[in-house]
Amino acid sequence: MSIQRTAVIGSGLMGAGIAEVLAKSGLDVIVREINDEASAAGRARIEKSLARAVEKGKLDAQARDEAMGRLRFTTDIGELADRQLVIEAASENEDIKKSIFAELDKVVTDPDAILASNTSSMPIIRFAQSTSRPERVLGVHFFNPAPVQPLVEIVSSVLTADSVRDSVTEFVAEVLGKNPIQAQDRPGFIVNALLIPYLCSAIRMLEAGFATKEDIDAGMVGGCAHPMGPIKLADMVGLDTCLYAAESIYRETGDPAAKPPVLLSRMVDGGLLGVKSGRGFYEY
């Protein structure tokens, strides 16, 4: 299957990044948002990201303009009828995502189309069961920032067809130039199943007063050769995303290591989400 016509649902931090990756790879991209204001914000995110790439010499002006020319924004999900690949990147809310997949199932007419979710931890099978084609639903989990991070998790549910998994894996590697790894539909997949308990542990250490955030981060950078400490990494991931992932993993597994710290919940309640909001455990 040669994928050319793609779509992204949502143009927040992750959706905009994914749309940019698709457009820079020479693909036709429709970005669907809930209203014109959100579409304008998504377009601005992509334009700013491409401008940075030009400034750093990673992209020339012509390539930037060509990428923007491949992008189209809409609020009408009906415009996705002819898409071959749709990647959902909406809020980490299971009901919202299931509703989107049910809509896509009615709208996308190509029986060979692939419906994917960028969720970081939610069960893919639940989205698949919202459609009449669960064998063509899987997870395609990019990491933030999507235009820069090379890794993509390909997540198969118990009903995902092997041919779909293999096709998307090849597409991610050969067309998008990313490094795909394959995971089963288990809480947190590969990366977050390991990462989220680690971040929660660091936040609990801070909450208990064992050490300052600076010393916790310096300890893991200097003592374990991590490129970034866990508190700063949580800010970069987004504290709301960390919380949603922790809740999802803890709900399914009962693993106490993934239980969200109270401090993390309070930070999110207060709108302190990390880099995306300008303030989390650190200020940006």
- For residue 87, how many other CB atoms are within 10 A of its CB? 26
Mean pLDDT of 121-145: 96
Domain spanning 5-184: which superfamily?
A: NAD(P)-binding Rossmann-like Domain (3.40.50.720)
Ligand-binding site membership of 276 (annotated) = no
The region, left, alpha or beta by phi > 0 then psi within -120 to 50, assigned to residue 154 is beta
**How far out from the chain centre does Cα 127 lie?**
15
Predicted confidence at residue 92, as pLDDT, reads 85
Residue 149 pLDDT > 90, yes or no? yes
Which pLDDT score is estimated for 1? 63
Q: Which of 130, 157, 192, 248 is catalytic?
A: 192
- 3-class state of residue 109 by DSSP: coil
pLDDT value at position 116?
Answer: 98
- Residue type at position 217: D
- Residues 149-174 have a mean pLDDT of 98
For the stretch 238-250, pLDDT in tens is 999 899 999 999 9
pLDDT above 80 (res 225) = yes
Q: Output the pLDDT for position 86.
A: 98
- Distance CA(230)–CA(216), nearest Å, equals 8
SS3 271: coil
Helices marked H in the chain? 13-24, 36-55, 61-69, 94-107, 124-128, 162-170, 191-207, 213-224, 230-237, 239-253, 262-269
Under 8 Å between Cβ of 258 and 250: yes
120 is in an annotated binding site: yes
Among residues 25, 39, 118, 120, the one annotated as catalytic is 120
Examine the residue annotation and report whether 153 is marked as an active-site residue of this protein: yes
Residue 17, Cβ neighbours under 10 Å: how many?
25
Domain boundaries of the chain, sorted by first residue: 5-184, 193-276
**Taking all residues of the chain, what is their mean pLDDT, rounded to a whole number?**
96
The catalytic position among 11, 141, 157, 248 is 141
Model pTM score: 0.91
Percentage of the chain exceeding pLDDT 70: 100
The one catalytic residue in 20, 33, 153, 247 is 153
Q: How many CB atoms lie within 10 A of CB 233?
A: 19
β pairing state of 137-142 and 151-156: antiparallel
Active-site annotation holds for 226: no
Contact 100, 70 (CB under 8 A): no
Given pLDDT bands bounded at 50, 70 and 90, which one contains residue 70? very high
Give CATH for domain 193-276.
1.10.1040.10
pLDDT for the residue numbered 282: 98
Three-state DSSP state, 85: strand
| The pLDDT of residue 21 is above 70 | yes
Confidence (pLDDT) at 121:
86
Residue 207 sits at the vertex; the CA angle it makes with 203 and 212, to the nearest 5 degrees, is: 80
Are 5-184 and 193-276 the same fold in CATH? no
Active-site residue 163, yes or no? no
Whose tokens are 């995110």? That residue is 45
Q: Which parts of 225-284 fold into alpha helices (H)?
A: 230-237, 239-253, 262-269
**pLDDT score, position 91:** 87
What does the pLDDT look like over 80-122, one tens digit per residue? 999 999 999 998 889 999 999 999 999 999 999 999 999 988 9
